[in-house]
Amino acid sequence: MSSGNNSLLMTKVLASYRDPELGKKILAQVEQWADRACHRLGRWPVIMEVCGTHTVTISRLGLRSLLREKVILKSGPGCPVCVTDYGDIDRAIALARLPGVTIATFGDMMRVPGSHGSLEEVRGWGGRVEVFYSPESAVDFAHCHPETQVVFLAVGFETTVPAIGLAIEKAQALQLGNFYIFSLHKLVPPVMRALLTDKEVMVDGYLLPGHVSTVIGSNAFRFIGTEFGVPAVVAGFELVDILLSLAKLLRLIAEGRPQVLNGYSRLVREQGNPRAQALIERYFEPSLASWRGLGNIEASGLKLRLAYRELDAGLHFPLEVPTPRIPAGCACGEVLKGKVFPQQCQLFGRACRPERPVGPCMVSSEGACAAYYQYEAQGAGDQWEGADE
Ligand code: SF4
């Protein structure tokens, strides 16, 4: 089949997953299963979408407010920029201030406020900060600029790590001596464990991240059902994907079946992607990581393996930063655990707005506060209050 035919087919397939008429039919099923779940629980079911891309899509499509009479949809810790801890942001900013160092980063990190400014501001003050769309481009930059030490801020979940592995492969092939990784990676299954053991996080079922599951596989989340007795469904990102997964999840809740299902089987396999997993495994090993709002979680981060430690920016540029200054009133930590809706933060829409963010949840394109501000503005707080009654 030619590439033209392929893209036509892909457009048709995507259109079917965005079909509003089909969406309406599935929405009716969602509501029916929500009624039954309510009947079983004695209250409306509470579902957390763990992934930041789901948060944005659900807000953009208006699903949260559309379903608010029957299902309480809360957002979780699925925005990698948002969960990056205050201290790590301060360390990245301190690195950017070192003479002879260039920070290479994805664009989302630029405006995240640290204790004393952001990377964007450091650049304005003369620091070297470059934005890249891929880690490989940062390697190319380092190759062309031997006069500077390039530190790549490796932020992201399992989805972005294989690309970092490929960048390391390329840096090694080029025998670069000026390319380093500042690994701030986070892993999703350990944070799920942290949420599931937190008694204050009251959730009846989870919509699990589709992108991460393409890498680690849906089986990596089976423990949610077997160990914690909570149902969960891996979901895709189009209207029909999300509604179908919601219907599946509500059915599991209604029938009291704590299973983990794959609602994104067109891309997610039970075992995930072995090649991507091998790339992660080759270069990284699990390590303790600090999450904004969730604190230190064992084996929830990744550090470079011993054989690649010469690339570790944390070892090459050891920096002590003062205790971070956390902005008064910012509820990002509570938002990331689904304990409050963004509108319940006293700064939301007042001192904290997209053009003048106080916390990362208002900066990132996957941040819950930014998504709620752009698409929902009012209403979810009422929904939350309804849940507490
Ligand atoms: Fe933090 Fe702003 Fe969100 Fe409040 S509205 S939680 S200050 S990002």
Residue 387 pLDDT class (50, 70, 90 cuts): very low
Q: Is the CB of 340 under 6 A from ligand 1?
A: no
Q: How far is the CA of 354 from the centre of ligand 1 (A)?
A: 10
Ligand 1 near 352 CB (within 6 A): yes
* Closest C-alpha residue for ligand 1 atom 7: 330
Please name every residue paired with 281 in a beta bridge, in sequence order, or none if there are none.
Answer: none
Is the minimum distance from the CB of 369 to ligand 1 under 6 angstroms? yes
Burial (CB < 10 A; 0-12, 13-18, 19+), residue 185, is buried
| pLDDT score of 53 more than 80 | yes
Among protein residues, the one whose CA lies closest to atom 5 of ligand 1: 348
- 142 alpha carbon – ligand 1 mean position (Å): 35
347 in contact with ligand 1, CB cutoff 6 A: yes
pLDDT (tens digit, 9 = 90+) per residue, 73-129? 999 999 999 999 999 999 999 999 999 999 999 999 999 999 888 999 999 988 999
What's the 355 CA to ligand 1 centre distance in angstroms? 13
251-287 per-position pLDDT tens digit:
999 999 999 999 999 999 999 999 999 999 999 999 9
Segment 20-45 shows an average pLDDT of 95
Percent of the chain past pLDDT 90, that is, above it, reads: 82
- Give the distance (Å) from ligand 1 centre to CA of residue 212: 25
Confidence of residue 3 (pLDDT cuts 50, 70, 90): low
Task: Tell whether the model's pLDDT for residue 135 goes beyond 60.
Answer: yes
Is the Cβ–Cβ distance between 290 and 85 less than 8 Å? yes
Shortest-distance atom of ligand 1 to CA 334: 6
Q: Which numbered atom of ligand 1 lies nearest the CA of 357?
A: 2
Residue 261 CA to residue 264 CA, distance in Å, equals: 9
Contact between residue 206 and residue 230 where contact means Cβ atoms under 8 Å apart: yes
pLDDT of residue 245: 98
What is the pTM assigned to this prediction? 0.92
Rounded CA-CA distance 208/167 in Å is 28
The confidence band for 384, taking pLDDT boundaries of 50, 70 and 90, is very low
pLDDT of residue 321: 86
Please identify, by atom number, the ligand 1 atom nearest to the C-alpha of residue 361: 8
Q: Is 362 in the pocket of ligand 1 (CB under 6 A)?
A: yes
Q: Which residues pair with 184 in a beta bridge?
A: none
What's the CA gap between 242 and 246, in Å, rounded?
6
Mean pLDDT within 292-306: 96
Q: How far is the CA of 113 from the centre of ligand 1 (A)?
A: 11
pLDDT at 378: 54
Q: Look at residue 223 and tell me whether its pLDDT is greater than 70.
A: yes
CA gap 229, 149 in Å, rounded: 49
The torsion angles phi and psi of 187, rounded to 5 degrees, stand at: -110, 140
Long-range (24+ apart) CB contacts under 8 A made by 382-389 are 382/68, 383/64, 383/65, 383/68, 383/72, 383/341, 384/72, 384/74, 384/340, 384/341, 384/344, 386/44, 386/68, 386/72, 387/43, 387/44, 387/46, 387/72
**pLDDT tens for each residue of 345-379:** 999 999 999 999 999 999 988 899 999 999 987 55
Are β-strands 149-154 and 128-131 bridged in parallel, bridged antiparallel, or unpaired?
unpaired
CA nearest 259: which of 210, 221, 296? 221
Ligand 1 center from residue 381 Cα (angstroms): 14
Strand pairing class (295-304; 284-291)? antiparallel
